[in-house]
Amino acid sequence: MSKPHLELSSVSMSFPTAKGDFLALDNINLKLDQGEFVSLIGHSGCGKSTVLNIVAGLLQATQGGCMLDGKEVNEPGPERAVVFQNHSLMPWMSAYQNVELAVNQVFGKTMGRKERREWIIHNLELVHMDHALDKRPDELSGGMRQRVGIARALAMQPKVLLMDEPFGALDALTRAHLQDSLMEIQQSLNSTVIMITHDVDEAVLLSDRIVMMTNGPQATIGEILSVKLPRPRNRVALAEDSEYNHLRQEVLQFLYEKQKKVQPLRTSARASAGPLVKAAHRG
């Protein structure tokens, strides 16, 4: 097998707290091929976002590390574009300007002015936002903002696209719509994607592999599920598909039986789980 495109090897992460170091992630190993779509799923606080931030370079792993195309990742950079949960668009810039900020930074030296303009508009067309070039985020709906955020990330032409619950804050209809758009774009660009999600359907529908994480502290990869459903996928047709439902059930089983998260009614119920649980509030 050839060298992996992206590789996380024995990544551990601990945060210093008043009561000593808190080990959030323990020994994460994961390899991704070019063009693969991988979802991270797990209960809140299991360190999914921490994994993503380590790949993004926004956090430094305390042990182990992340390699992209044979180079170690130790700082953020546009080749690992991030789509943030809450769009993170500059509120004082229009949709066009938000994408322009990224394009000028990444392609300012290699593309001419006209070429950059076309590239910006092309990316906004991909997410069907070319009708609102001059609208500012406060004039757009939540789904539209997220689209612009995705366009900004795509416009960096990243090697890996990192998405932190990109559709978490959207209503179900908008979410379905954006999921379809994302599938379409990912297929045509063949981009490598890591997406964090809470949504079992979303994970099965979009992914090539679903990485299921155990509960923190010392969260690690519990199981990895391969989704071999043929693409393009159609959510309506899949609803009756036996394999789709089987995969769904496996994820649900992992989340709600194997990694059942007990929500204690009183704090004393946590005592048996050890003192570290109290610190496990990180997302």
Partner 1 sequence: MDTVMRYTKPISDFVQQRLPAFSLQGVLRTLGMPIIGIAVFLMLWQLASQNVDTAVGSLPGPAQVWQQSGNLWADYQEEQQRARDFIAMQEARNAQLLERNPEAETRIRPYSGQPTFFHQIGTSLMTVMSGFLLASLVAIPLGILVGLNRHLYAAINPLIQVFKPVSPLAWLPIVTLVVSATYVSDDPMFSRSFVTSVITVSLCSLWPTLINTMMGVNSVSQDLRNVSQVLRLPFLTHVRRVVLPSAIPMIFTGMRLSLGIAWMVLIAAEMLAQNPGLGKFIWDEFQNGSSSSLSRIMVAVIAIGVIGLLLDRTMLMLQRALSWDKSASTQ
Chain contacts with partner 1 (rule: CB under 8 A):
56-58, 75-78, 80-82, 84, 86, 88, 90-92, 101-102, 105-106, 136, 156
Name the DSSP class of 256. Answer: I
**In the complex, what is the shortest distance from the CB of residue 92 to partner 1, in angstroms, rounded to a whole number?**
4
| CB-nearer residue toward partner 1: 120 or 203 | 120
**In the complex, what is the shortest distance from the CB of residue 17 to partner 1, in angstroms, rounded to a whole number?**
19
Plot region of 64 (φ>0 → left; ψ -120 to 50 → alpha; else → beta): left
| CB-nearer residue toward partner 1: 156 or 211 | 156
Find where tokens 């990485």 sit.
Answer: 211
Plot region of 47 (φ>0 → left; ψ -120 to 50 → alpha; else → beta): left
**In the complex, what is the shortest distance from the CB of residue 73 to partner 1, in angstroms, rounded to a whole number?**
12
Q: Alpha carbon of 170 to those of 70, 86, 132, 204, 254: distances in Å?
A: 36, 10, 19, 18, 25
**In the complex, what is the shortest distance from the CB of residue 134 to partner 1, in angstroms, rounded to a whole number?**
9
Contacts of 27 (CB under 8 A, 6+ apart): 10, 11, 12, 64, 220
Find where tokens 């926004």 sit.
Answer: 58
**In the complex, what is the shortest distance from the CB of residue 101 to partner 1, in angstroms, rounded to a whole number?**
6
| CB-nearer residue toward partner 1: 138 or 257 | 138
| CB-nearer residue toward partner 1: 41 or 161 | 161
Through-space distance between the first and last CA atoms of the chain, rounded to whole angstroms: 34
| CB-nearer residue toward partner 1: 95 or 183 | 95
